[in-house]
Amino acid sequence: MTRNNTLTKEQKKALRKERYDAIMADLRNPVKKAVRGRKIAGKASSLLRTIVFIGLSFVILFPIFQQLMLAFRHPNDINNPLIVWIPEHWSLVNFTIAIQLTQYWKSLLNTFRVSLITTVFQLASTALAGYAFARLKFKGSNILFWMVMLTLIIPPQVTAASRALYFSNFDIFGLISLFNNGEAIALRGPGKDYIFYIMAATGQGIRASLFIFLFRQFFRGVPVELEESAQIDGAGILRTFWSVMLPNARGVITTVALFAFVWQWNDVYYTSMFAVSSSEFPLLTMQIINTAEWLGNLLLRSDLKYLVSADVRGSSMFTSLIANTEAFLMMLPLLIAYMFVQKLFVEGIERTGIVG
């Protein structure tokens, strides 16, 4: 300040001009311009990214939040317009009814068992096939590969009817009836969950061809040198596959396992096609679908009658509320499991190298 006071007007003007010129030169400097532009672009794109992510995360998370809040709402409050998000009377009535209606623990155990075993079988069959298609090529193996890919392109609806008929009367060229008193066996029907395992083990499980594709792409990307060095060290083909290839494929295995498990867990189509679910062998998805039919009967039971008032009982909104709670209960184990697996899964993708 003191220095400024001693300067004359002209000097001040000159100084100001100098500064102005310096700033302008700085602005006009192409290198600095580019650097600045890049900085601004980076800031802007990260801002945009943040906004998009927050928005999309909201879009994804909101329905889950909604489901949760609805599940805790007391059924008598469904017609109350004052309650928007947070329930006024927190209650577990919906859960009580949903658990009774779906035979929750039993069907949870069944669903878990079916999903787990199919996942293991799917992994085994698709990993073997993927490796064979990628590395153990012979004449015509590409044709076989595209034939298998047909199962991905042709939707399951086409084979639904013929498969259903075929499985209710299963017979391979009369071989089975030969050993079974001239009778074909029914692979399809209530409680016959092994049909899932047979399908999974033979690479016909839910979207198995997609998994074969993923495994093939991954194994194609593994350097050949790795295999060759194992071979030189005296490892056979099985050994190479088991000790060299599979440990490297952790990422794909996690991805495939997660998909196989979740798709089996959520599956409606095959479960209804094979008519597996029954009251002795309940599966979660089927139990949820039957909500509307069974709810009325369940609520006539004396011990449950007093849980909800009579005018609510008949309303369709109440049915939806219960269905919603059931769906939440079905998702809950998956969500909890996902929280633990999620890191492995997301890291797995990065190392999948699905690109071949």
Partner 1 sequence: MKEKISSWFSALGGKLTQLKNWFLLTKFWAFIEKIVRYISVGLRYVFYPITWIKKRTYDRMRYDNQKVFASILFLTPVLLGFFLFFAYPIIMSFIYSFSEVTIFDGKTQILFGQYLEGPKGEEVAIKDLFHNYKFALQGHGTFIIELWNTVQTTVIDTVVITIFSLLIAVMLNGEYKGRGFVRAVFFLPVVFNSEALDTALEATEAIDQVLTNAGTGSGELAKLFDLTLFMESIGVPVWLVTFLSDITGAIYRTITYSGVQILVFLAAIQSVPGHLYEAAKIEGATAYESFWKITLPMVSPQIVTVVVYTIVDSFLRSEINTIIDYQFVQNEIGYHAAMSWLYVIVSVIILAVAVGILNKVVFYQDDKK
Q: Interface residues for partner 1 in 235-254 (CB under 8 A)?
A: 236-238
Residue 1 or 150: the one with the smaller Cβ distance to partner 1 is 150
Residue 158 or 310: the one with the smaller Cβ distance to partner 1 is 158
Residue 80 or 309: the one with the smaller Cβ distance to partner 1 is 80
Residue of 179, 293, 301, 310 that binds partner 1 (CB under 8 A)? 293
Which residues from 202-241 bind partner 1, rule CB under 8 A?
202-204, 208, 210, 212-213, 221, 231, 236-238
Give the contacts of 146 (CB within 8 A, at least 6 positions apart): none
Residue 105 or 306: the one with the smaller Cβ distance to partner 1 is 105
The full DSSP string for 5-68 is HHS-HHHHHHHHHHHHHHHHHHHH-HHHHHHHHHHHHHHHHHHHHHHHHHHHHHHHHHHHHHHH
Does residue 168 bind partner 1 (CB under 8 A)? yes
- Cα separation values, 265 from 108, 135, 260, Å: 10, 32, 8
Q: Choose the stretch contacting partner 1; rule: CB under 8 A; options: 3-11, 20-28, 274-282, 291-299.
A: 291-299
Give the number of other Cβ atoms within 10 Å of residue 114's Cβ.
24
Residue 1 or 339: the one with the smaller Cβ distance to partner 1 is 339
Does residue 317 bind partner 1 (CB under 8 A)? yes
Site string for partner 1, 176-195 (x = CB under 8 A): --------------------
- Cα separation values, 264 from 60, 112, 205, 268, Å: 22, 9, 9, 9
- Helical residues (DSSP H) of the chain, grouped into ranges: 2-6, 9-28, 30-71, 93-102, 104-134, 141-153, 156-168, 175-179, 194-201, 208-221, 224-232, 237-239, 246-248, 250-266, 269-273, 284-289, 291-299, 302-305, 310-313, 316-352
Residue of 76, 100, 151, 248 that binds partner 1 (CB under 8 A)? 151
Residue of 5, 10, 138, 247 that binds partner 1 (CB under 8 A)? 138
Site string for partner 1, 42-71 (x = CB under 8 A): x--xx--xx-xx--xx-xxxxxx-x--xx-
Residue 118 or 285: the one with the smaller Cβ distance to partner 1 is 285
